[in-house]
Structure 1
Amino acid sequence: MSAIYSLTNPIFTNFAFYAAASTIKMMAMSLLTSRQRLAKNIFANPEDIALGSNKEAKVTLSDPDVERIRRNHLNDIENILPFFVIGALYVATNPTPVVALWHFRVFFFSRIFHTIAYQLALPQPSRSLGFTAGYVATISMAVQLFRALLK
């Protein structure tokens, strides 16, 4: 058998792919926040005003457009980091490859959908469904991990 945490293990390879893709997606939220701040000339710190495109740039922490992206980013942090930890431990249980792949896919695509629903302000329960699908995927992996640990 190949090493569990090796690129020769298809379960780990799939996890690594979706973990990396989720990380890039989460990092993109920082760029979206910066883009929105620059577009609106709204900054979080006085020294950042120099980055503004005109003299009307201001410091504020309450712009609704910027805060929507920041809340979305925070939600990513709250969900993607647990996915990394639980997913890495789940890989060690040597799950069925197809089942593991679907856990990773459901999680990743739920985060993409959640972001789209959040940023486009789609009517609820759109965003909630995206959140719930990813959350359930992570909880499912955790349950399987505990089952393996308690054998």
Structure 2
Amino acid sequence: MVALNDPAVQSYILYSGILALKVLIMALLTARVRFAKKIFANEEDAKTSKGRVKLDDPDVERVRRAHLNDLENIPAFWILGALYLTTAPAAAWATFLFRVYTASRIIHTIVYAVKPMPQPSRAIAYFIPYLIMWYMGIKVISHYYGAM
């Protein structure tokens, strides 16, 4: 039974909260770039801000892709992390995984959308959390497959 006073659960909740705020910040970062460049996706926004409609601005698209990457990966972390907790992992190890996952996702955004850096920086920041999700998913499957 997973309990809220379990340190692994508390760690999961903490890092899940950080990641949720990160997703919200990405929307603000996209808006900041749009307003700074006065480039918008909708005519009404462009008129209001005396800008123009452009759907292929490289700076806006870079931030949008980073946001989409979060939207593709962070919900999977929430699901796999919650399922992983049901396997009663060691709290220190679970905390380490959640912490590294979160830090890597933040670094991914920095090297992709905030201060673009050459590869392999983005690839490393992407694959570390990706592998953590695979690890948790395999642990869940092996834990429950063995119990069947």
Deviation at 1:5, TM superposition (A): 4.5
Question: Which residue pairs with 1:102 in the alignment?
Answer: 96
Equivalent residue runs for 1:103-118 within 5 Å:
103-118=97-112
For 2:70 and 2:22, how far apart are their aligned partners in 1?
9
- Map 1:1-151 onto structure 2 (within 5 A): 4-6=2-4, 8-52=5-49, 54=50, 57-119=51-113, 120-151=115-146
- Please give the alpha-carbon distance, in whole angstroms, between the structure 1 residues aligned to 2:141 and 2:112: 32
Deviations 1:47-86 (A, max 9, x none): 112431x4xx111111111000000001111110100000
Residues 72 and 115, structure 1, Cα contact 8 Å, conserved in 2: yes
Whole-Å Cα distance in 2 between the matches of residues 50 and 27 of structure 1?
25
Question: Per the alignment, in what secondary structure is the counterpart of residue 99 of structure 2?
Answer: helix
Letter of the structure 1 residue corresponding to residue 14 of structure 2: F
Task: Show structure 2 runs of 5+ residues with no match.
Answer: none
4+ residue runs over 4 A deviation: none
d(CA) in 1 for partners of 2:57, 2:137: 37
Asked whether the equivalents of residues 36 and 66 of structure 1 are also in contact (C-alpha less than 8 Å), the reply is: yes
Q: Cα offset for 1:138?
A: 0.9
Q: Is the contact made by 1:103 and 1:138 (CA closer than 8 Å) also made in structure 2?
A: no
Unaligned runs of 5+ in 1: none
Q: CA RMSD in A?
A: 1.1
Q: TM-score, normalised by structure 2?
A: 0.94
Secondary structure in structure 2 of the residue aligned to 1:19: helix
TM superposition shift of 1:4? 1.1
What is the TM-score with the length of structure 1 in the denominator?
Answer: 0.92
SS of corresponding position for 2:127: helix
